[in-house]
Structure 1
Amino acid sequence: MGQIIKVLMITASGAEGISLRNVRYVHIMEPYWHPVRIEQVIGRARRICSHNDLKDEKLRTVHVMLYVMSFTPKQLSEDSSLELRLNDVSKRDAKKPLTTDQALFEISTIKEEINRQLLTAVKEASIDCSIHRNVASKEKLKCFTFGVVNSNKFSYAPSIDNEESDASMAQNTKETELKLRKMSLTFNGVKSDYAYDMKTSIVYDYNSYLAAKEMGGEPLVVGKVVEKDGKSTFVKMSAAMAESSASVVTATAAPSAKPKKPEGGVASLAPSSKSKDA
């Protein structure tokens, strides 16, 4: 724990293939053009259970420092740096001259942003996005959904040449504001919360409704309330969904209606029950 080795200096080959323990500080002496190399270097020190031998939990931290060389104001103001100020400039700001270190760090940052955007797109388009999306998370994901599903229509055109473009899809998208009520249903002894649209009688997953309020997008449709035998009953989505145009939803809160005792996959709704803000 530091008695034998206090400082370990590694080259690029040390970015992978070694496992260290109890490392407190990582000093990266120069940037690299791709963020993966930096992550690999940090990963040598920040490993699972690598600091368990340190009794004090306050010492179980890893501080990372990256050193980047920059120009001094004097260097930039001299006549000898005229060519540098004209040619060695940032990709984002043509008026800002950069050193080699700064240029490499900027390239790495741009690549990291592109990778993050691609990863976010994969997460938002994944089939289980709405299941794993957390409203409290710092990552604000807008899960891709089809809204109200009609099983008789294709999700996409059979030929990519006939597929609707993003521009025309945006023009054909209608933004709708929903006022939903919170309702609770019990199936097989498990009580769950849902969001109920009194206007359309459509029932939404409550967690996806909260996520739509917080981060945008559409709440997940789970069923519909229909009139049956003179009373309101809840029917699951597979049996209840009708054709509907795509919409981008801005969800707002409204009072809730509580259901009476459900039977199997159908739950009765009380016509005049106490309400609660969703």
Structure 2
Amino acid sequence: MITLNNGVQMPALGLGVFQSKPEETTDAVVTALECGYRLIDTAAAYFNEHEVGEGIRRAEVPRSEIFVETKLWITNYGYDSALRAFDVSLRKLSIEQLDLWLLHQPLASDFEKTIQAYKAAERLLAEGRVRAIGVSNLTPARLDELIARTGVIPAVNQIQVHPYYSQPALRAANTSHGIVTQSWSPIGGAYTYGNAEKNPLQDPVITAVAAKYGKTAAQVILRWHLDHGFAPIPKSIKPHRIAENFDVFDFVLTPTEIAAIDALDTGVRGGPDPESLTLENYGFAIPD
């Protein structure tokens, strides 16, 4: 467990459902909860909140033991529209209280709407409808601006972190504010670097550590996250992979091994720069 800056306890490792098809999501959530996971991460823009809620209902795990987090998409930024979108997400999830609500991206082209959406989140936090609030993909400068203009420091900044793109400067900014770094795309998978694909799962540094501990490369990478104090949310729909990704609590990496994996960072992002997102190029509607 990780203690957030408002005292709420959050599981250190969870299941992500980005790009999980709706028809595959429910079974993945049930499998994860039955394997021992207690955190499920989704988003309005993933179009599978309903299926996440169905998985939570089907699993034989009390709701009080499950940490549920979802995210607000940029289309619904602004104060009133954010409040309405929150209600839509809760209805889809079929829960009465959310554990963590994040702003999914900075809307750099109209950051005022980002600020107003976060103020709506602050209201929901004060009302007890959500236990913690945070952001995703905010740069250090955007974090500073948001903190200066609002009243609650985000509990979490969910960002892209894996051995080939570890964002040390952004992680340090999170730490300086007491914000937990939650890692999306934590394993890396097929990672485009220049004109080639590099896969951390095949990196000789990581596979050597895996051989030493009798673990898979994915398990070593997830352990690297945990040993750093990050909160990874690996995605899978395959039962054996879901179980494998959770079997990482019986070993720890040495400082030398952690440093060797740190050194793999390329400094090159995979995917679009969050600062490039606008309502014109990413402002798709989220159906009720």
TM over 0.5: no
Greater strand content: 1
| TM-score, structure 1 as length reference | 0.19
| TM-score, structure 2 as length reference | 0.19
Greater helix content: 2
Q: Which structure is higher in RCO with an 8 Å CA cutoff and minimum separation 6? A: 2
